[in-house]
Amino acid sequence: MKKLLELQNRYLLIISIAGILFLIAGAFLKITHFAFGFAKGNSVLYIGLVISTFVWILVFVDIFRTKQQNGIFWILFMFLFFSITPIIYLIVNKKETY
């Protein structure tokens, strides 16, 4: 069975890292009460959360479709560490050729 994320792996990794950066920047803006135009803490956090959730759902579906050997482990850690686990999964399960 062909991997669902095989062609998208490189792009999903970049998008997932961008989501984490948005979450960190939003938390920083919220804590320090800074605002740069529309970029207030709440809006940047929301953008980061939407991006991270999108990647999380795609990785979650990929775990079930490919029937990973450690699937329960990946799912458990995806719930415990919401932002980091999809990045680690995309790096570890990188089987595409460039």
State both tokens at 7: 């062609």
Residue 6: predicted pLDDT:
56
Please count the structural domains in the chain: 1
pLDDT exceeds 60 at position 4? no
pLDDT tens profile 11-70: 888 899 999 999 999 999 999 988 888 888 889 999 999 999 999 998 888 888 887 778
69 lies in some domain: yes
Q: What counts of helices (H) and strands (E) characterise the chain? A: 4, 0
In a domain, 14, yes or no: yes
Between 96 and 35, the more confident residue is 35
Q: What is the pLDDT of residue 98?
A: 37
Note whether residue 97 is domain-resident. Answer: no
Length, in residues, of the chain:
98
d(CA 83, CA 67): 21
How far, in Å, CA of 56 to CA of 50, rounded?
10
Within-domain flag for 98? no
pLDDT band at 1 (very low <50, low <70, confident <90, very high): very low
State pTM to two decimals. Answer: 0.79
